Structure 1
Amino acid sequence: MTTGNAGSPDLPRDIRGPHSRRLGLITVVATFGGLLFGYDTGVINGALEPLRADLGLTSSTEGLVVSMLIFGAALGAVVGGVLSDRYGRRHNILLLAVVFSIGTVGCVLSPGWEALAAFRFVLGLAVGGASATVPVYLAETAPVERRGGIVTRNEVMIVSGQFAAFVVNAVIFTVWGDESGVWRFMLLVALLPAIALFAGMLRMPESPRWLMAQGREAEALAVLEQVRSPERARAEVDEVRRLAEEEQLSTAAGATELSVRWIRRLIWIGAGLGVFQQFTGINSIMYYGTQLLGDVGFSAGAAIIANTLNGLFSVLGITAGILLINKIDRRTMLLGGFALTTTFHLLVGLSALLLPDGTAKAYVILVLVVLFVFCMQGTIGPLVWLILSEIFPLRIRSLAIGISVLALWLANALVALVFPPVVEAIGIASTFFVFVALGLAALLFVHRAVPETRGRSLEQLEEQFRRQYT
């Protein structure tokens, strides 16, 4: 027998069979939402150089075009969560696939930067909605003992989408770089996974947990029978019913819980983690890496090819992080991650300031940036999302995670908006020294505020937080 989450009844073991292939197919199709998330946030990286030439972007309008997607994502995460709760996870993912398609086509056909920024906002709505809906759909469809691994595949698909965007950009720029409007082809590629997501989700089932919450128990059992053995499906109906009831209780708690001091403290910690994750500047590399490499000495063609290393080491980093995340204490790994990223910020800043211009300087900064990306994605990136899923009591989890993710997206948008004009105003070295200061602040925050959650049940954590913060 295997046991689910704390307080769950024992369930029959999840024996592999034909239903396992069905669950695998559901996972692959749903995580196309994560792939689109990654591609649409990463594709702008290599497209900015031809965009600047075609649409006359300045550093300010460049920051606006990039950040509009992130502002849209902040709103999309909130709206997507509401629509997902009301109409169903599958329904929302189908809607998101349509929004992804509309946003992509609108960006490709944009006659000027204003229209491009508007359709980037539309794409952001889809990106934010995917960030709020796809992990929930996967978590509610997967068996409890495989939930962590299956949900984490969405994070892998996000960084894989960014890597794919960097590679596609490099190929298109290398072959058609002299053509006018080449950036339109870079953006158009995203239409293919959007169509695949829509077509695939038409054949996928609804979340059994959501169906139970709607009182549709027979349909929930039918879905579980697609992705579990018959014995496990019948036994799990009671488990899903219990979880749905707890979810209703958590929703009912609402904003009144914010009057409790220890809960406010936890939300402050969650929002702080989201903000400091983004203030590592990881997305300044994911969005502007090609421009950064061009500024330090690479030619336009060499920079867009070299930038693919950032995507590759992002994938390698998160893969390493997944292997280590349950073997090292959360606080230790988080402190180590911020120490490493802050060190690499310092080294990039010193290299930009002290090394003479030339090929050697360009390659030194490339290596340091790639190592920063690897360390960030192997530690802070997945850890923040994991800790957010662990620190909040069930009854306020949706509200608290929503606030924390909103803070994360807004911090992401701020970095995307100000990075180009800040680099233009104070230079690369001083910009990275700002990241060093933010990294030191993050280390102090984690050391003083973030609790250890590894190896503790949700009930144990709640009792600890009550004693510690009351």
Structure 2
Amino acid sequence: MDMQNGTAQKSFLTKVIMISTLGGLLFGYDTGVINGALPYMSDPSQLNLTALGQGMVSASLLLGAALGAVFGGRLSDRHGRRTNIMYLSILFFFATLGCTLAPSMEIMIAARFMLGIAVGGASVTVPSYLAEVSPANQRGGIVTRNELMIVSGQLAAFVINAILGSFMGDYPHVWRYMLVIAALPAICLFIGMFRVPESPRWLVSKDRTNDALGVLRKMRSEGEAQEELMQIETTVLKERGLKKASFKDLSTPWIRRIVLIGIGIAIVQQITGVNSIMYYGTEILKDAGFATQAALIGNIANGVISVLATFVGIWLLGRVGRRPMLITGLIGTTCSLLLIGFMSSMLQGTEILPYIVLSLTVTFLAFQQGAISPVTWLMLSEIFPLRLRGIGMGTTVFFLWMVNFMVGLLFPVLLAGMGLSATFYIFAALGLGAITFVKLCLPETKDLTLEQLEENFRNHGRGPVEEAVQEKPYTAKPAAAPNQTLK
């Protein structure tokens, strides 16, 4: 009987994970599908997009995502993780239809902005839900499945774009078919969320302890459910008595330093130019010399390497220090960018150039997704003590999305005005600045507790300092961060 119960509980948890991570799949598909839709969408017979128009269509989603990330956490705290994901699935569906049926650039931008709000909300709500329904000893592996679903969604978008481009490339409205496919997982997510429970952590925070215990019993043994409920109640009680930080606390040097380092980590992840490849990979390959259909097919390689490298990155996180892993990744991406710039100028117009550019973008993504992106989200979850986590994560994720927005907006303008070579030289220069920042400013966080990290920030390595906050910091393991390669 116990074995049967254990199997049923494991099966139920698996169902919960599979359904909720459809939010990550939508995140990935909606950020990746524009890669193949833009060439057709830009045609004079369609939306007639200029280089700036392409940037605005792509980047409007990212601006919406910045807003969605800021308010998504607050709404899920108010209404519940499950309920918020259901609302997001509805927004995903109708915003997708708006993009699909858009008759003009202006309506497309508005619909993409609304779609971005759903993407940003999912980027913070889904990982929180996964972390709160997962057993403690499986939490890391379960939460990182959302990252795998994100890059898998991007890969699915690249593959579908290539298939539709190959078989329907002569049909002027093919881009609408590329976009509307995202409505299917949105429907599945909405229906599926009726079959999964609310987060037990959220239920306890709303004094619904019996409901929380009922949820835990569906996914844990009786003893494990009772023990975890006690742990949740203790944590919630301590958090209620903990004064949260505000922007006024930034006047305290050590708090300001942590927040600025967090912002720096977020900016470093984006100024590599990763999302110029994830959003405009097809345009990059076309500029290098591929025809549109060949570029769509070649771009699949970028999606495949992103998925494979994410597996490698997850494996490396427990074995390599954060700083050396991040520096190695940045050296690899910067060298790849320099080579793209150099080869584009030296081999311009040759038949071999598009294949060289494709191989270098694949190399770039191997370093980015295998080292930089996993470390980014992990370090953001580690450097903030509990009382700073709300303001710290909110501020850093906002900056991450805004830099992502600027890259998405300006890249096609730079590509059209300066060419492939000069554009990638700019990103290479930014990569050198990122390496310098990591070497000079970034602390190592591996194998350190939150108390040790907080003490290091307070002391600046010079011995004890006067307490900057009144309450004793609460001891906790780093929370699972919303690991959304913003791709």
Q: Scaled by the length of structure 1, what TM-score is found?
A: 0.95
**Structure 1 residue aligned with 2:216, among 212, 224, 233?**
224
Q: Which piece of structure 1 moves more, 189-198 or 352-361?
A: 352-361
Summarize deviations over 1:17-73 as a string: whole Å, max 9, x none.
321111111111111000000000000000001100111000001100000000000
| Cα deviation digits, residues 102-160 of structure 1 (max 9, x gap) | 10001111111110010000000000000010000001111111111110000110000
- Per the alignment, residue 352 of structure 1 pairs with 344
CA–CA distance in structure 2, aligned partners of residues 278 and 374 of structure 1: 15
Partner residue, 1:24: 14
Matched residues, number: 456
**Residue 7 of structure 1 corresponds to which residue in structure 2?**
none
The CA deviation at 1:423 is 1.1
Task: Find the partner of 2:132 among 137, 140, 144.
Answer: 140
2:120 match: 128
Amino acid at match of 2:234: R
* Structure 1 match to 2:230: 238
Give the equivalent residue in structure 2 for 1:274.
Answer: 266
Written as runs of structure 1 = structure 2, the 5 A alignment for 1:281-292 is 281-292=273-284
Partner SS, residue 252 of structure 1: coil
Find the aligned partners of 1:275 and 1:57 in 2 and give their Cα distance.
28
Answer whether contact 2:245 2:391 (CA < 8 A) is retained.
no
**Amino acid across the alignment from 1:408:** L
Distance 1:316 1:467 in 2: 40
- Report the 3-state secondary structure (helix = DSSP H, G, I; strand = E; otherwise coil) of the residue aligned with 1:234: helix
**Contact between 2:21 and 2:145, CA under 8 Å: does it hold in 1?**
yes
Counterpart for residue 82 of structure 1 = 74
**1:17/1:229 contact within 8 Å kept:** no
CA contact (8 A) 2:28 2:154 kept: yes
Distance 1:323 1:29 in 2: 24
Partner Cα separation in structure 1 for residue 79 and residue 286 of structure 2: 46
In the aligned structure 2, how far is the partner of 1:248 from the partner of 1:69?
A: 35
- Secondary structure of 1:26's partner? helix
Q: State the distance in 1 between where 2:94 and 2:204 align.
A: 32
Q: Which of residues 442, 456, 466 is equivalent to 1:450? A: 442
Q: TM-score, normalised by structure 2?
A: 0.92
The unaligned stretches of length 5 or more in structure 1 are: 1-14
Retained in 2: the 8 A contact 1:246–1:395?
A: no
1:203 Cα shift? 1.1
What residue in structure 2 maps to residue 58 of structure 1? 50
| Identity rate, percent | 49
* Equivalent in the alignment of 1:6: none
Q: Which residue of 1 aligns with 2:485?
A: none
* Equivalent residue for 1:376, pick from 368, 371, 395: 368
CA contact (8 A) 1:249 1:395 kept: no
What residue is the counterpart of 1:333 in the other structure? Answer: 325
Alignment of 1:35-434 (within 5 A): 35-53=25-43, 54-249=46-241, 252-434=244-426
One-letter code of the match for 2:221?
A: S
Residue 460 (str. 1) matches residue 452 (str. 2) = yes
- Larger deviation, residues 445-454 vs 254-263: 254-263
Task: Report the secondary structure of 1:233's partner residue.
Answer: helix
How far the C-alpha of 1:249 sits from its partner, in A, is 4.5
3-state SS of the aligned residue for 2:245? helix
Residue 247 (structure 1) shift: 3.6
TM-fit CA distance, 1:351: 0.4
Aligned-partner SS, 2:198: coil
- 1:38–1:158 CA contact under 8 A, matched in 2: yes
CA contact (8 A) 1:313 1:370 kept: yes
